[in-house]
């Protein structure tokens, strides 16, 4: 039936007319689109938008898109005639192979730079895929040092990796302990089983020795873990001075709740890159969070831009978690690379990023200095929940409050 209608209505004249109209429409509508696409700088955002890490991924997207909007509002990439930044969104689904596939799709779509991916394992796969095309790749969150130690010239990271975070975490703990009269001598580490937890735990064990603090047990757990009672009882039996969680948000909160339920007594919970330690945790479970310490990426609360970003984030109904400003910083870093390269040429942009000296005053960082893709000016800080807020307690130059240690 349909076939006969088509046959009847499609004469040679109609066909030629239709083709001409299609060509005219394509020329009329398509040209501006191509012109616009050429002038835009496309930044791919690859995060686990679905799956157990959907919340941090949403926070990362929010921070990146806030930065893109701010940069565009300020005139875009000026050296490229005010080219606007455009986000291409990708979902890694928490899987390394999907993260790498997203890079391929974005390359087909003409992406100029990529940032991601929250999980180190996904970041490793995605950045390796980006390296095939020399696409500039900025790690917004991802702590494995392998990300920037593979000699890939297109991979950069502004925030710290776990090597330097572990060193700083041990130094800060040593200092906090010394100021309190050195009451803490033993630690139990509870870490998740992937690259992030295992690698950080290994580094912390070595780093704490230098501060005369002994790791008496290391407990590894699966993702997800439904039940932390045995872990709590094991910690209770070993009586450590400090409990050191290194895990993702769900397990971080569940462990903290279980330690409280089992009445485990210790001087401090001192987590390293504790996935669940943020303003939301402090709001939701204040009686547990009070005086818990975490060493993590954090903003500089004394900077005007940091305060403004926090105010905007909260006005938008979001919590000001580290993902927001790490993603914002990563977009700023990439935009600065395009600005100084003056084009989207991959070689030129990678060279510009490798020599970046961008100033990020909303982070408690020193001067930006890129060495083999890693910013040597970055640093993590020790933060503590105090009276319903989060304060920086170390290092001293950024401290907004004194440490409560041992906890009250």
Partner 1 sequence: MISASLSMLPAAIINGFMYGAIYALVALGLTLIYGVLHIINFAHGAMLMLALYAAFFLFDLFNIDPYFSILIVTPCAFIFGYLIYRYGIGSLAKGKDQNILLITLGLSIIIENGALFFFSGDQQTVNLTYGFEAFDLGFMYLSYPKVISFFAALLMCAILWAAMSLTDLGRAIRAVAKERQGARLVGINVEHIFAVTFGIGIACLGAAGCMMLPIFYVDPYTGNIFVLVAFTIVVLGGMGSVVGALVGGFIIGITESVGGLLLGESLGQIGISLIFILILIFRPTGLFGSKV
Residue ranges that bind partner 1, judged by CB under 8 A: 50-58, 193, 219-222, 224-227, 229-231, 233-234, 237-238, 249-250, 253-254, 257, 260-263, 276, 280, 284-285, 287
Q: Which is nearer to partner 1, 269 or 375 (CB)?
A: 269
Q: Which is nearer to partner 1, 220 or 312 (CB)?
A: 220
In terms of C-beta density within 10 A (0-12 exposed, 13-18 middle, 19 or more buried), how is residue 356 classed?
Answer: middle
Q: Which is nearer to partner 1, 255 or 394 (CB)?
A: 255
Q: How far is CA 41 from CA 22, 77, 119, 398, in A?
A: 29, 9, 25, 35
Q: Which is nearer to partner 1, 150 or 202 (CB)?
A: 202
Q: Which is nearer to partner 1, 289 or 393 (CB)?
A: 289
Question: Which residue matches tokens 């960082």?
Answer: 365
- Which two three-digit tokens encode residue 247? 């895990």
* Least distance CB 9 / partner 1 (angstroms): 37
- Which two three-digit tokens encode residue 130? 């980006």
* Least distance CB 57 / partner 1 (angstroms): 7
* Least distance CB 116 / partner 1 (angstroms): 16
| Cβ 320 vs Cβ 310: under 8 Å | yes
* Least distance CB 232 / partner 1 (angstroms): 9
Q: Which is nearer to partner 1, 158 or 259 (CB)?
A: 259
| Alpha helices by DSSP H, 40-181 | 54-73, 96-108, 120-132, 162-179
* Least distance CB 257 / partner 1 (angstroms): 8
- Whole-angstrom distance, CA of residue 157 vs CA of residue 374: 5
> Hey, how many other C-beta atoms are within 10 angstroms of the C-beta on 95?
16
Q: Which is nearer to partner 1, 2 or 287 (CB)?
A: 287
Q: In what order do the strands lie in the sheet with 268-272?
A: 214-221, 186-192, 242-246, 268-272, 293-296, 381-386, 389-394
Q: Which is nearer to partner 1, 76 or 276 (CB)?
A: 276
* Least distance CB 239 / partner 1 (angstroms): 11
113-116 and 370-371 beta bridge pairing: unpaired
* Least distance CB 48 / partner 1 (angstroms): 9
Q: How far is CA 379 from CA 166, 298, 368, in A?
A: 11, 9, 11
* Least distance CB 205 / partner 1 (angstroms): 16
Angle in degrees, 0-180, between the axes of helices 120-132 and 96-108, rounded to the nearest 10: 30
* Least distance CB 261 / partner 1 (angstroms): 5
Q: Which is nearer to partner 1, 35 or 233 (CB)?
A: 233
Helix (H) or strand (E) holding 219: strand 214-221
Helix (H) or strand (E) holding 396: none
Q: How far is CA 278 from CA 42, 142, 291, in A?
A: 31, 17, 13
* Least distance CB 279 / partner 1 (angstroms): 12
* Least distance CB 200 / partner 1 (angstroms): 16
Q: How far is CA 8 from CA 11, 12, 223, in A?
A: 7, 11, 63
Q: Which of 91, 46, 45, 39 is nearest to 68 (CA)?
A: 45
SS3 at position 114:
strand
Handedness of CA 117, 122, 127, 133 (dihedral sign): negative
For residue 406, say if its preceding peptide bond is cis, omega within 30 degrees of 0.
Answer: yes
Q: Which is nearer to partner 1, 93 or 378 (CB)?
A: 93
- Whole-angstrom distance, CA of residue 282 vs CA of residue 289: 5
């Amino acid at each position: 039936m349909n076939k006969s209608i088509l046959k009847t209505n499609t004469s040679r004249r109609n066909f030629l007319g239709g083709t001409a109209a299609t060509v005219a429409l394509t020329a009329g509508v398509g040209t501006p689109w191509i012109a616009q696409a050429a002038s835009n700088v496309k930044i791919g955002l690859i995060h686990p938008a679905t799956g157990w890490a959907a919340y941090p991924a949403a926070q990362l997207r929010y921070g990146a898109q806030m930065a893109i909007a701010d940069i565009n509002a300020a005139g875009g990439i000026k050296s490229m005639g005010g080219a606007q930044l455009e986000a291409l969104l990708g979902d890694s689904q928490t899987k390394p192979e999907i993260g790498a596939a997203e890079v391929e799709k974005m390359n087909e779509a003409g992406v100029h730079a990529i940032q991601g991916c929250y999980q180190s394992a996904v970041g490793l796969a995605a950045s390796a895929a980006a390296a095939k095309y020399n696409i500039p790749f900025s790690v917004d969150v991802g702590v494995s040092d392998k990300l920037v130690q593979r000699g890939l010239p297109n991979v950069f990271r502004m925030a710290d990796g776990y090597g330097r975070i572990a060193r700083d975490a041990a130094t800060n703990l040593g200092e906090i302990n010394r100021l309190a009269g050195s009451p803490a001598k033993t630690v139990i580490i509870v870490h998740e089983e992937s690259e992030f937890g295992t690698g950080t735990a290994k580094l912390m064990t070595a780093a704490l020795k230098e501060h005369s603090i002994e790791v008496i047990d290391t407990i590894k757990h699966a993702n997800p873990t439904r039940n932390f009672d045995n872990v709590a009882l094991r910690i209770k039996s070993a009586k450590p001075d400090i409990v050191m969680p290194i895990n993702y948000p769900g397990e971080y909160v569940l462990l903290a709740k279980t330690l409280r339920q089992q009445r485990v007594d210790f001087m401090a919970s001192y987590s390293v890159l504790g996935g669940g330690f943020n303003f939301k945790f402090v709001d939701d479970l204040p009686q547990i969070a009070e005086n818990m310490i975490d060493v993590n990426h954090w903003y500089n609360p004394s900077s005007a831009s940091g305060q403004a970003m926090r105010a905007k984030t909260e006005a938008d109904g979001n919590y000001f978690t580290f993902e927001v400003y790490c993603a914002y910083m990563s977009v700023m870093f990439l935009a600065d690379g395009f600005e100084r390269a003056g084009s989207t040429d991959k070689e030129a942009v990678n060279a510009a990023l490798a020599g970046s000296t961008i100033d990020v005053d909303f982070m408690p960082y020193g001067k930006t200095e890129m060495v083999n893709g890693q910013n040597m000016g970055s640093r993590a800080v020790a933060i503590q929940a105090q009276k319903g807020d989060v304060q920086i307690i170390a290092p001293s130059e950024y401290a907004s409050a004194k440490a409560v240690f041992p906890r009250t």
